[in-house]
Amino acid sequence: KQEVTQIPAALSVPEGENLVLNCSFTDSAIYNLQWFRQDPGKGLTSLLLIQSSQREQTSGRLNASLDKSSGRSTLYIAASQPGDSATYLCAVRNQAGTALIFGKGTTLSVSS
């Protein structure tokens, strides 16, 4: 059964720092991996989707990498801003099935 783990659970950084959020999954037979942002009491906003054949995706200050064989993905945030404060969720879709399986998230706080 696929399990997704995110480390750290929480992270506090000063504005301007570059940071890395980690995601690991137990079954490497994935179809894709998606990173989301969740603000308190709100829905999930899709940030990046990496297909299983890809190694990374970039959008603005965000870069997500995927190492399928080792079951890891990282989300790199450059030059963090207070507006980046949110919970970041990693989710994988297995090759068999259509469901996304989520990690518990990393709650990021960026102070000005």
In the complex, the smallest distance separating the C-beta of residue 55 from other proteins, rounded to whole angstroms, is 15
Cβ-based nearer residue to other proteins, 57 or 65: 57
In the complex, the smallest distance separating the C-beta of residue 94 from other proteins, rounded to whole angstroms, is 10
DSSP state of 9: S
Pick from 97, 98, 84, 15: which is nearest to 75 by CA?
84
Pick from 89, 52, 87: which is nearest to 71 by CA?
52
Cβ-based nearer residue to other proteins, 89 or 110: 89
Burial of 44 (0-12, 13-18, 19+ CB in 10 A): middle
In the complex, the smallest distance separating the C-beta of residue 29 from other proteins, rounded to whole angstroms, is 15
Residues at the interface with other proteins (CB under 8 A): 31-32, 34, 36, 41-46, 49, 51, 89, 91, 97-105
